[in-house]
Amino acid sequence: MRHSVQGNPKYLQYRVETPFKNGHLDHVFADKTKAIAFADESAVEFGLALLFDHLTNEIMHISCDRIQFGKNAKQFDYTGDIKFKTSPCPTNWLDKEVK
């Protein structure tokens, strides 16, 4: 799998994935704040983005837009082993609850 490198390769610790067939390739970051912002942007576009600790492959953060996720659910294509760095894993719900 190819990676888009954002920062000095020696310090790349954060990886954002969109687990959809129509999602972008993984992006790797040295800065956690930039990685979370990219995950949020990706979730708005694709529905879900996972932020991994690139060194341990553990999920650190989940960004989700339920409306977009529903639209792309048929294209969900994540086959890796899921490990969570924290329990519970922080989740950023980008859409508003319907009341």
pLDDT in tens, the chain (99 residues): 444 545 556 678 999 999 888 788 789 999 999 999 999 999 999 999 999 998 888 989 999 998 998 888 888 877 767 776 765 566 777 775 544
SS3 letters across the chain: CCCEEECCHHHCCEEEECCECCCCCCEEECCHHHHHHHHHHHHHHHCEEEEEECCCCEEEEEEECHHHHHHHHHHECCCCCCCECCCCCCEEECCCCCC
User: So where are the chain's domains?
Assistant: 4-93
Q: Sheet with 27-29: list strands edge to edge.
A: 4-6, 27-29, 14-17, 48-53, 58-64, 91-93
